[in-house]
Structure 1
Amino acid sequence: MGPVRRNTSISLLAAGHACVDLYQGAVAALVPFFVAERDYGYALASGIVLAVSLLSSVAQPVFGMLTDRWAMPWLLPVGTVLGGVGVALSGLGDSYGLTLAFVAISGIGVAAYHPESARVARLAGRGSHSAMSWFSLGGNVGFAVAPLLVSLVVGQGSLRWTPLLVLPALVGAALCVPVLRALGRRAGGAATTPSAGGDDDVASFVKLSLAVVCRSVVFIGLSTFISLYVRQRVDGGDTAGTAALFLLFLGGAVGSVLGGSLADRYDRVRVSRWSYLVSVVAVAGVVHVPGPAVFFFVALTSVALYVPFSLQVTLGQDYLPSRVGTASGVTLGLTVSVGGLAGPLLGRLADVTSLRTALTPLIAMPVLSWLLFRLLPEPAVDRPATPARQGA
């Protein structure tokens, strides 16, 4: 009933997280097919990513504030299904407006899922950095699988096959249900009650949020254009582009687990600082080092950018202990969404210059994150006192 049950809950939540974040990765993976089949330019193609990112960046904190007042565990299965339905419908019809509307539906579903799922994962894992890193790992695996699944489904035919992409959402929704029931029973209702209050450090949370935004700009910018960019750099066609996107997402799985492990030995702020310094070198390598070495730097970039991924979530929750849902909505949501706001600017710059020129400013983003983390304290947190801990 103790560690085994907790591990089962975290595993199921991680698998469900993979099913949800698969759809964020799928939007980026669909971009080359929209360009090829519908003749979209870089700016129009990046606008599709923007539709998801803009709604997610606005909606996730809103959902977070709502879940701080009323626990809404049902958002996990409902958000998962919406995320899948939107992407499944995005390949139908030739209307750019309808495509934007469908991916926007997917973005709303993803936005609804994340704040509440982070709160539930915190309860299931008893506030453990490692548990949150495994939960985050699920999302990273979903990102990594997305380009392979899209290539398998759409690459063998056309965008008309996107309805098949709804299947992971149905699986993910089903995985949520037993976890929510088990937590509700063991905690005697605590799993369906918003978090208790505490002393908030708003100034530190704002600085953390700005660092998350900078990180998301570079990651979403690369995920939107890396496939097209590597196709230009390496004589490998579609295969090279898909491999680069897969590495960008797969490296995140390694980085998330590594981040949780390092945070158990060192403090989260210090680990995040070093990871952002490594990211500067890695992103510069992706943009400017020629030849097949680009694949190494893509993988290094992914690992370095994802080491602080789950650490930023728990830091945000600890800076705002009275508003865990809001903190999760901002940190976990912005990490994978706000960067899309810079996508159209990068796309427009690429249209008038080149992709290399457009991607070069991304090198500065992890520098800014590193500078912001130098201003952050490591919060002192006493984790044991929660009802969920007694029953788990």
Structure 2
Amino acid sequence: MTEPWAYVAALAGLDHMTTARLNSLLRGRSAADAYALAVGDAAPTGAIAAMFERAPELRQRWSTSASRHQPDDVAQQCRELGVSVVLPDDPSFPAALAGDPQRPAVLFVQGDLCALDRRRVGIVGTRNPTQRGLQTAARFGHDLAAAGVAVVSGLAKGIDGSAHRGALLADDGSTVAIVANGHDQPYPKRHEQLWREVADRGAVVSEWPPGTPPDAFRFPQRNRILAALSEVVVVVESRERGGSLITAQLAAERGVDVYAVPGDVSSRSSIGTNQLIGDGAAIATDPTVVLVALGLDGRRAGRRRYDARPLPRGVEAEALAACRRTPQTVESVALRGDWSLAEAALALARLERSGWVCETGGWFEALDEWGDLC
């Protein structure tokens, strides 16, 4: 007997199937009846009939592609790949997605969705990062995972991949990838091994069945899932346009806090993140800032030395970020942040008083937690 999830898995792979159309097909009817309706074995009524009237080519496209998406065949392919098919009424369906206005009708999962039972932080960014951006993403991924947070990202090259790798370096670190294609063809190809490692330590999640190629239009769609699963989204580097800014917008629409790592104003890879900060995103200069936002600041726990310096925020955080890159004067900090000299001087004075920078001959340099120059 064919399982209901097999019908849904087959439906998800039909040509020109969308999440909205799949949800319409499944609303008020069994998965088997929805499949029969889509492939032309049952007469459409109500909303489905109206959908076919608006897009008459759909019936032919679905009927034709059904030969390549038979429920039992798709189910067997999923089993061979170790892919679980999870429907919204399944107890393992992520609670964070259950009430989302754009809830996926089905999830295809390699790994264990229990990884999402942890606190969750999304880390995203450009596919064309700087070396500093890669290092920052890996550090955030590692430190958050080491604190027991599940790092959620998109397994893309660049910032995403670095965040996943950083999380995997942490003892018992867990990470979840939201991908834009089927599980039979890891994308990008260079991340095939990383894909397997993420599945082993967390989960690789898609809303498309095996055989689905990584078409460009699927990436913005998957970003809504990434945003909905995250409690906080951190954008490490972003150009003026791109998927990471889409994810940030989708997160903000869902009431998810968005943090951005400030960058050099002369670097294209920081245009998007600096704009996010200008638009009101919180500043993340250190993973601890995110842990504090989650209520997971464990800096005082255990026997190790504790960095008791107050965390810089706002203008002070941006000024410190500049001093970490290279020594700064009051004038250069003011110029970088488009602030008055008084604002820059006050921020640097506060940083010096709290032990974040030291001043020598008018130049301000960042200090690490033990008082040594960074």
TM-score range, shorter chain: under 0.3
Select the structure with the greater relative contact order (CA < 8 A; seq sep ≥ 6): 1
Q: Point out the structure with max Rg over C-alpha.
A: 2
Q: What's the TM-score, normalizing by structure 1?
A: 0.24
Which has a greater percent of helix? 1
Which structure has more strand as a fraction of its residues? Answer: 2
User: TM-score scaled by structure 2?
Assistant: 0.25
